[in-house]
Amino acid sequence: MTLKIPAASKALLFQLAAFLAVHVFAPAWSNFALSLLEGMLAAVFSLRMERWWIPIQFCFAPFVVLALEIGIDPLWYLAAFLILGLVYWNVMTTRVPLYLSGREVASTLAALIPDGPFELADLGSGTGGLIGNLGRLRPEGRYFGIEIAPLPFLFGRIRHLGKSGIEMKWGSYERIDLSRFDVVYAFLSPYPMQDLFTKVTKEMKPGSIFVSNSFEVPGIPADEILEAGGRKLYLWRIRPPSAPSAAHGGDSLPG
């Protein structure tokens, strides 16, 4: 059995190893020179990690030394840490960071939703911008946003406070039932797509639509692929389990 260590924990272990190596054999150098050596060692230890970790590993110790020498009040660091934590802490488990859908995505979605009343869910609704833009274009819809990161959720909640037809909830989409929605939209990352699609096909009703911004579902071709603001929107139409469809593992049908 192989032990799978998360990348962030590995990076931390490499930093600690570099710190120990440099401070056990510490030459009589300045703190900054030592931190450069520490950065180099940490970067070398991290060579087998994804490439973007290497500059981070190299810069970490020198930046700590520089930050200490500039003499900024430590409370600023605490404040920055808390704010970043409230936005990004869940990324360690969800592997989905915050980035926002533009207006073009909202217009494309608004155009593809059939006329008449509908209910739409934005899974991982971020700061609620997509729901706001869609709500202006299709005011007859009802909108539900669910967001796991506390600060973006709070921002979205305050932004849509008192607006009828918009509900913003704090929590994980994994715990909600998707059966009431006519349209489910997700802009997440490659990581959760397989599990999310299993949930979608189990819970969403025939005739409803699932749209994923930018991320495909491995092995399940979309029924339609649209372009919006330089991004691809993958769309699956949910059909009854017996009907041949992409959403149930068969051939895709025209939209």
From residue 101 to residue 120, the character string flagging contacts with ligand SAM as x (rule: CB under 6 A) and all else as - is x-------------------
Smallest gap, in angstroms, from Cβ of residue 188 to ligand SAM? 6
Distance CA 120, CA 143 (A): 5
Rule CB under 6 A: say whether 196 interacts with ligand SAM: no
Where do runs of H (alpha helix) occur along the chain?
7-24, 31-45, 53-70, 74-88, 91-94, 103-112, 129-137, 150-159, 193-203
Cβ(131)–Cβ(143) under 8 Å? Answer: yes
* C-beta of 149 vs 166, nearer to ligand SAM: 149
- How many whole angstroms separate alpha carbon 59 and alpha carbon 64? 9
Binding of ligand SAM at residue 94 (CB under 6 A)? yes
Site string for ligand SAM, 123-162 (x = CB under 6 A): -xxx--xx---------------xxxx--x----------
- Binding residue (CB under 6 A) for ligand SAM from 37, 96, 209, 226: 96
Task: Find out whether 38 and 19 touch, Cβ atoms under 8 Å.
Answer: yes
What is the rounded CA–CA span in Å between residue 60 and residue 12?
10
121 binding ligand SAM? (CB under 6 A): no
Q: How are beta strands 142-147 and 119-123 bridged, if at all?
A: parallel
Sketch the per residue contact string, 43 through 82, with ligand SAM: x for CB under 6 A, - otherwise: ----------------------------------------
> Residue 20 CB, nearest distance to ligand SAM (Å)?
35
Q: Angle at the Cα of 21 (from 17 to 27), degrees rounded to 5?
A: 150
Residues that bind ligand SAM in the complex, under the rule CB under 6 A: 90, 94, 96, 98-101, 122, 124-126, 129-130, 146-149, 152, 172-174, 187-188
